[in-house]
Amino acid sequence: MNRKDRFLTVEERSQVGDDFHQVVADKFIFKVKKGLLYGENDTWARVEGGSIRLGITDYLQRRGGDIVYIQLPKIGDKVKQSEDIAQLETIKAIMTVASPLAGTVSEINSLLNDKPELVNEDPYGEGWLILISLTNLGDIDRLLKAEEYFELMKKKIQDELKRRMRGGKGT
């Protein structure tokens, strides 16, 4: 295998009992937490009654870099599916996060005001963004299971690596 092919290789790793699906690409390990639901826009959702707790995936936080500031919506704000709900300022760029489902913001993670780096350190735990009371609980069916999102993420990583090898700049 030549050097160029090595960087195009995406290697899956999983151990019995792991809470994550994970893939190694180049020098990075990307994780997808099992038991959560996912939006195609690299968000995760944990169903809590008629609400979803929402955050960004490990993949998105790694692509963005170190988060230094987060702007979240206000409690009571109505959000529509695919509408921007958060803005993350990183050392590389400003990223927006879109809601995978419609509803009303019922809680925000106020810890992120003083410690935005929690999103990088623990994207599936203390780094969650908001809690949304859903407009239509049936919309949850639109989200991807962890295994489905894992396959989508692997494709995104492969596409990114191919772009880089062709000399294109990643997004």
- pLDDT digit string, tens, across residues 74-86: 999 999 999 999 9
Q: How far apart are the first and last CA of the chain?
A: 27
Torsion of CA 131, 133, 136, 137, to 10 degrees: 70
- Whether the per-residue pLDDT at 28 is higher than 90: the answer is no
Percent of all residues in the chain with a pLDDT value above 90, rounded to a whole number: 77
Cα separations in angstroms, 68 against 48, 81, 83, 86, 122: 28, 26, 22, 13, 15
Percent of all residues in the chain with a pLDDT value above 70, rounded to a whole number: 88
46 or 5: which leads in pLDDT: 46
- Whether the per-residue pLDDT at 164 is higher than 80: the answer is yes
- pLDDT digit string, tens, across residues 89-128: 999 899 999 999 999 999 999 999 999 999 999 999 999 9
| Domain architecture of the chain: domains with CATH | 3-165 (2.40.50.100)
- Whether the per-residue pLDDT at 5 is higher than 60: the answer is no
Q: Alpha-carbon distance 106 to 72, whole Å?
A: 12
Question: How high is the pLDDT of residue 128?
Answer: 98
- pLDDT digit string, tens, across residues 126-148: 999 999 999 999 999 999 999 99
Average pLDDT, the chain: 90
